[in-house]
Amino acid sequence: MNKSVIKVEHISKSYILKHQNAEAYTALRDVIANKVKSFGRSSTTDDLSREEFLAIDDISFDIKQGERVGIIGRNGAGKSTLLKMLSRIVTPTKGRITIDGRVASLLEVGTGFHPELTGRENIFLNGSILGMNKVEIKQKFDEIVAFAEVEKFLDTPVKRYSSGMYVRLAFAVAAHLEPEILVVDEVLAVGDAEFQKKCLGKMKDVSGEGRTVLFVSHNMGAIQSLCDKTIVLNRGKIVYDGDVNGGISYYLTNNNNQTVELSKRTDRNGNGKLKFTGISFEDVAGNSVEEILSGDALKLNVQFENEPNMDFSKLLVSVAFFDEYQNIVLSFVSDEMGTNFSFLKNNGVLHLRVPEFLLRGGQYSVRLFASYNGTLPECVCDNIENAIRLTVISSDFWKSGQTIRPGNYAVLNGEYF
């Protein structure tokens, strides 16, 4: 029987959130006067209200050597906080974590890299951080470089790397320097599809060598392919701990947020300069619908609120459709489509018209994304997974008398001859 390499006992992690008490209007002279009055005394609850946020709430679990564990849950469920504690980046507020083995973590783009150092130098730096000596790193060096596909840029400072190059090199270092435990967050989503496939293969190889893998992803297909066990988190608590198919089924069954108004959804990311507040589907006749026939016309209406004086020509919007395993199957990205949103009004509605919805019968969810003046993380205004669901019903798409088979992939007009 494999030994336990990670043992988590009743851990919790809380943060103190401070909220500034806002006034309807404060003139500059009042701000200066208030600062002068408060000079020499510390800030009190008169100025700030404090709130405790429990990111992880009294959870326990046990992971055996060689297990491949998928950690899944909605945005804000506590997944990244848990991984940071397991990686010893943050400490639990309560409870105990026991880890038997060396941990390599890939939690965000550029983790452990120094931007001024070259790719070559960062490989040796990361190896040293992981406890490897120079000889051990040299033995793996060529393999790391070949896997990352960054030979031409090896002596270039990594601050000049694209996010994809960053991820390729960071993953290659983490996976090849033989940690006993490999911890990987959603960061692999930055890479291209071919590299993601290669990474999943490498993680399978790592676990086959008796090492342990913890993997966070919203891609249920990747979780199902890689993992043999899942832990499902919801609001900082474990709601499922068991086999992978049971975990995916539990997550998908309990992840329907359509009963919660979009404006009240808290599991969202972004700076809030623009926020999605409502979403609905219409058919070709203008009727509100939740299901359509494959190949029918579809209109998506999205309500939003925004900060004043926004230049809508700098706005990027993406509407992406995902299958039941959270694989993206269709996306509409405004800059790729040449859309300029100058016509939008403050606190208004934007529409997406699809003349033919060319997906087969199945259940699909929608991710809404908006960024302003760029696509860097700090430019993201709002990002909501599973904003709404759409049921597509199989139809006689080719007018052949044969209903098309269901499946989460496309249909297109064509003929054999």
Residue found under tokens 């491949």:
68
Does 109 score more than 70 pLDDT?
Answer: no
* pTM over cut 0.75: no
Q: What is the mean pLDDT of the chain?
A: 85
Q: Report the pLDDT averaged over residues 91-111.
A: 83
Helix axes 134-148, 163-176, angle to 10 degrees: 140
Q: In this prediction, what percent of the chain has a pLDDT beyond 70?
A: 88
Question: What are 233-282's pLDDT values in tens digits?
Answer: 998 999 999 998 888 878 876 765 555 689 889 889 999 999 999 999 99
Q: What gap in Å lies between CA 203 and CA 395, rounded to an integer?
A: 40
What CATH number should be reported for the domain whose range is 54-253?
A: 3.40.50.300
The whole-number pLDDT of residue 101 equals 86
- The CATH 3.40.50.300 domain(s) of the chain lie at 54-253
Q: Which residue from 105, 91, 98 is spatially nearest to 60, judged by alpha carbons?
A: 98
Predicted confidence band of residue 169 (pLDDT cuts 50, 70, 90)? confident
CB 274 within 8 A of CB 381: yes
Q: What gap in Å lies between CA 198 and CA 196, rounded to an integer?
A: 5
Alpha helices in 38-182 (DSSP H): 79-86, 119-129, 134-148, 163-176
Q: Report DSSP letters for 303-369, one per residue.
A: EEEE-TT--GGGEEEEEEEE-TT--EEEEEETTTTT--GGG--TT-EEEEEESS--B-SEEEEEEEE
Predicted confidence band of residue 381 (pLDDT cuts 50, 70, 90)? very high
Rounded to 5 degrees, φ, ψ at 378 are -70, -10
Does 103 score more than 90 pLDDT?
Answer: no
Q: Report the pLDDT averaged over residues 66-90.
A: 89
Mean pLDDT is highest, among 1-15, 176-190, 215-229, 335-349, for: 335-349
Strand 68-72 and strand 212-216: the pairing is parallel
Rounded to 5 degrees, φ, ψ at 255 are -110, 20
Question: What are 283-316's pLDDT values in tens digits?
Answer: 888 888 888 889 999 999 999 999 998 999 999 9
Paired residues of 243 in beta bridges: 229
The whole-number pLDDT of residue 261 equals 84
Q: Is CATH 3.30.1330.40 correct for 262-393?
A: no
Is the model more confident about 336 or about 179?
Answer: 336
The whole-number pLDDT of residue 82 equals 93
Q: Which residue from 178, 167, 173, 202 is spatially nearest to 68, judged by alpha carbons?
A: 202
Does 23 score more than 60 pLDDT?
Answer: no
The whole-number pLDDT of residue 28 equals 62
Q: In this prediction, what percent of the chain has a pLDDT beyond 90?
A: 40
- The CATH 2.70.50.60 domain(s) of the chain lie at 262-393
Does 21 score more than 60 pLDDT?
Answer: no
Rounded to 5 degrees, φ, ψ at 137 are -65, -45
For the chain, the C-alpha Rg in angstroms (whole number) is 24
Q: Which residue from 258, 220, 249 is spatially nearest to 389, judged by alpha carbons?
A: 258
Does 27 score more than 70 pLDDT?
Answer: no
CB 227 within 8 A of CB 68: yes
